[in-house]
Amino acid sequence: MQNVRTRFAPSPTGYMHIGNLRTALYEYLIARKYNGKFILRIEDTDQERFVEGAIDVIYKTLKLAGINHDEGPDVGGSYGPYVQSERKGMYLEYAKKLVELGGAYYCFCTKERLAELKEKQDAEGHGHRYDRCCLKLSKEEIEENLRKNVPYVIRQKMPDTGTTSFNDAVYGTITVDNSELDDQILIKTDGLPTYNFANVIDDHQMEISHVVRGNEYLSSTPKYNLLYEAFGWEVPTYVHVPLILKASGQKLSKRAGDPSFEDLVSMGYLVEAIVNYVVLLGWSPSTNQEIYSLKELEEVFEISGISKAPAIFDINKLTWMNGEYIRRMPIEEFHKLALPFYENAITNKNIDTLKLSKLLQIRTEVLTTIPETIDFIDQLPDYDVQMYVHKKSKTTLENSLENLIAAYPILEGISDWNADSIHEKIFAHIEALGVKNSLILWPIRTAVSGKAVTPGGAIEIADIVGKEETLKRISIGIDKLKAALGNNA
């Protein structure tokens, strides 16, 4: 394959949405797969949409995701500047050159005339297209207008007849009728380029070999190709990727409350899991494997695996994948990630949080759910006594009271309080009674936690909260059951 050079060219408009992150990842993976270069270029010519601090968000996001660029504003390179506003002086010269080549022309139409044209086309039920009024101007008229500093734009001159075709690595050969192509503006009245024109110039100058972008740009690509052809430049390989939609079929939108990359991280999702999941939104590997490190993706990613069909962003699938990442990490790593979530949830400094982490790791899918899972450790919640009634365990209010009263002195007699000793004494008691384990364990767990779902069983929880607290809570449970059954119980 030719020397591969890809680029991620975001606009600094605030946050990194999921589609942007996927584009960056695909560009990065293509470059790494073929030992090429991945370039970061900041497209900031649209100053009306510029958000202060947004460039730092781009750097931070790429770094956090493990996407390292080989060239860019912060690392330099031989093809700079890598910030579009620092390149603005060159675009007008290219546009003037295109005029000389016959691929573009000056347009001096006022805003008022263009508004009237639009109004007329609306009334006639036509689409909005420039009527090429200024294409008829003589060379002398153009020079006179330029001499008088009449405001102008430069428009691309589309072919009058025929078709334009291009090959896309995902969608194959796409052909459009040239009559559908409007004479788009290349240079605005302020001398700055439009997005479409600047892209072509920058990609050519930076020798970009592969352009990855959303399939909403498929209809614009013939215009790009005509520019390349007019200048006599080599056309890059286009890789148009499918849309990312919600289950409802709507596009993901920050305004509609859909999460950005930063949002997902703050929601407790691991960066590695987010990256893994986002790559799979519109791309399938050649095997059934779903869990990949970024390094593994660099080796297996193939453009041929990109789908034409829209990808559905499923937060439940991401949650599952996040849980898989949590379960696969070393306990020490999970414990380190969990510690900040313990700080506000547990004030008792005697709690062995490492023991807690060992229970939580196999049950946690998203880190931010940790506080609500362990809120009973610091303080016993005011629970409904009916929680003692469990059909599968065959527990009732009556036998729960009986079994808690019997368990209390057994637990009180344990001198070396730990999970092993608790297990030994309680199971000896269960064996002596000849009953199901759950008949004894369910009431103890309910009394000690006050919750129907806990990160561990009765023995593990009793071990973590400690002997004194366990006995205190069992006493509360006994009192609750007595009150429910009548004081004479």
Choose among 207, 205, 184: nearest CA to 94: 205
Provide the residue type at 304 as one letter. Answer: S
Q: How far is CA 181 from CA 92, 221, 330, in A?
A: 22, 11, 57
Annotated binding-site residues read 254
Model pLDDT, residue 50: 65
Class of domain 385-485: mainly alpha
Q: Which two tokens stand for residue 114?
A: 């263009």
What number of other Cβ atoms are within 10 A of residue 329's Cβ?
15
Q: Does domain 85-205 have CATH number 3.90.800.10?
A: yes
Report helix angle 221-231 to 88-101, nearest 10: 70
Choose among 29, 26, 64, 11: nearest CA to 261: 64
Q: Answer whether 208's CB lies under 8 Å from 5's CB.
A: yes
Class of domain 5-82+244-312: alpha beta
User: CA-CA distance, 28 to 8, in Å (whole number)?
Assistant: 8
User: CA-CA distance, 270 to 322, in Å (whole number)?
Assistant: 6
What number of other Cβ atoms are within 10 A of residue 41's Cβ?
26
Q: Answer whether 183's CB lies under 8 Å from 196's CB.
A: no
Q: How far is CA 152 from CA 88, 143, 197, in A?
A: 17, 12, 16
Q: Report CA dihedral (367, 373, 378, 382) to the nearest 10 degrees.
A: 150
HSE-CB for 289 with a 13 A CA cutoff: 12
> Domain coordinates of the chain in residue numbers?
5-82+244-312, 85-205, 330-376, 385-485
User: CA-CA distance, 444 to 448, in Å (whole number)?
Assistant: 6
Q: Answer whether 334's CB lies under 8 Å from 357's CB.
A: yes
The alpha carbon dihedral of 75, 81, 83, 86 has a sign of positive
Q: Which two tokens stand for residue 81?
A: 């500047």
Q: Answer whether 403's CB lies under 8 Å from 370's CB.
A: no
Q: Answer whether 262's CB lies under 8 Å from 271's CB.
A: no
Cross-strand bridge partners of residue 210: 6, 237
User: CA-CA distance, 47 to 68, in Å (whole number)?
Assistant: 26
* Residue in the structure block whose two tokens are 């439940």: 316
User: CA-CA distance, 403 to 288, in Å (whole number)?
Assistant: 49
Provide the residue type at 332 as one letter. Answer: E
Strands 210-214 and 185-187 turn out to be unpaired
Active site residues: 254
Length reported for the chain: 489
Choose among 368, 274, 272, 284: nearest CA to 20: 274
User: CA-CA distance, 170 to 241, in Å (whole number)?
Assistant: 7
HSE-CB for 5 with a 13 A CA cutoff: 19
3-state secondary structure the chain: CCCCEEEECCCCCCCCCHHHHHHHHHHHHHHHHCCCEEEECECCCCHHHCCCCHHHHHHHHHHHHCCCCCEECCCECCCCCCEHHHHHHHHHHHHHHHHHHCCEEEECCCHHHHHHHHHHHHHHCCCCCCCCHHHHCCHHHHHHHHHCCCCCEEEECCCCCCEEEEEECCCEEEEEEHHHCCCCEEECCCCCECHHHHHHHHHHHCCCCEEEEEHHHHHHHHHHHHHHHHHCCCCCEEEEECCEECCCCCECCCCCCCCCHHHHHHCCCCHHHHHHHHHCCCECCCCCCCCCCHHHHHHHCCHHHECCCCEECCHHHHHHHHHHHHHHCCHHHHHHHHHHHHHHHCCCCCCCHHHHHHHHCCCCCCHHHHHHHCHHHHCCCCCCHHHHCECCCCECHHHHHHHHHHHHHHHHCCCCCCHHHHHHHHHHHHHHHCCCHHHHHHHHHHHHHCCCCCCCCHHHHHHHHCHHHHHHHHHHHHHHHHHHHCCCC
Q: Answer whether 468's CB lies under 8 Å from 454's CB.
A: no
pLDDT tens digits in sequence order for the chain, 489 residues long = 569 999 999 988 777 889 999 999 999 999 999 999 999 999 887 666 667 788 888 999 999 999 999 999 999 999 999 998 899 889 999 999 999 999 999 999 999 999 999 999 888 887 888 999 999 999 999 999 999 999 999 999 999 899 999 999 999 999 999 988 999 999 999 888 988 899 999 999 999 999 999 999 898 899 999 999 999 999 999 999 999 998 888 888 777 778 889 999 999 999 999 999 999 999 999 899 999 999 999 999 999 999 999 999 999 999 999 999 999 999 999 999 999 999 989 998 889 999 999 999 999 999 999 999 999 999 999 999 999 999 999 999 999 999 999 999 999 999 999 999 999 999 999 999 999 999 999 999 999 999 999 999 999 999 999 999 999 999 999 999 999 998 654
Annotated binding-site residues for ATP read 254
Cross-strand bridge partners of residue 7: 39
